[in-house]
Amino acid sequence: MSDPDSTHFGFKTVATGEKAGMVKGVFDSVSGKYDLMNDLMSFGVHRLWKRFAIELAGVRAGQTILDLASGTGDLADRFAGLVGPQGLVIMSDINASMLSVGRDRMLDRGHVGNLSCVQINAEQLPVADNSVDLITIAFGLRNVTHKEQALASMYRALKPGGRALVLEFSKPTSKPLQKLYDVYSFGILPRMGEVVANDSESYRYLAESIRMHPDQETLKGMMQDAGFERCDVHNLTGGIVAVHRGFKL
């Protein structure tokens, strides 16, 4: 039985109430180099992962979309163009530093009128029941302390017929790929963070947080437990990343 007073921060066990502040420290540290490091860490493939998730989302003009853990706004940027002037994209993040970088980027891209930026906690969404057509969270769920609570909050906020998409690092589907991935994650990635962002520890945490995240079937079960139906999983790059999708019927 798990201890409700403790949770994991990477491979460390910490008090539940401390995790959010520790995650904040990581993203405060990496926000300035976030986009550059994403390109370097994934060799640019993160753009293809996000493009696949956007296509899977089935966004239509006039819809309301809540993008959680928006970071610098890769998904929100595309969604704002898809929903058009009659739609709304709520770009959100729990981390003020990341949200500030993302907001500036969206202003530079000319997004006004149908895009708003809000600092919120995914575990307690400050939106009305049955009010959102689509909720997305890309590379953010693994940093949430109470993932079940966040999924339940997402389900509550969705309109009947709405859907949730979780794009997240997952578990490679083959042992040889897993071994190569481990070498990269714990040998090369922290060194890359040290050279490029002068911060090896934050990128060591990111690697550890990926390993502690639920695998594909476990996360699918968590979504079903939250009420989602017709849940499906799409493995990308051999399962290094997966897109989970669930519907509120």
Q: Residues 174-196: pLDDT tens digits?
A: 999 999 999 999 999 999 989 88
- Per-residue pLDDT for 157 more than 80? yes
User: Percent helix, strand, coil in the chain (nearest 5)?
Assistant: 50, 25, 25
- Per-residue pLDDT for 1 more than 50? no
**Number of CB atoms found within 10 A of residue 219's CB:** 23
Where do the domains of the chain lie? 43-169+218-247
Looking at 3.40.50.150, 3.40.50.300, 1.25.40.20, 3.40.91.50, the CATH number of the domain 43-169+218-247 comes to 3.40.50.150
- Per-residue pLDDT for 79 more than 70? yes
Overall average pLDDT of the 149-175 stretch: 97
Overall average pLDDT of the 192-202 stretch: 87
Overall average pLDDT of the 136-157 stretch: 97
- Per-residue pLDDT for 2 more than 90? no
> Could you give the CA distance from residue 180 to residue 173 in angstroms, rounded to a whole number?
12
> Could you give the CA distance from residue 106 to residue 74 in angstroms, rounded to a whole number?
9
- Per-residue pLDDT for 235 more than 90? yes
- Per-residue pLDDT for 70 more than 90? yes
- Per-residue pLDDT for 23 more than 70? yes
What are 104's two structure tokens? 């500036």
Task: Count H helices and E strands in the chain, helices first.
Answer: 10, 9
pLDDT of residue 31: 81
Best CA proximity match to 80, nearest among 91, 70, 72, 71: 91
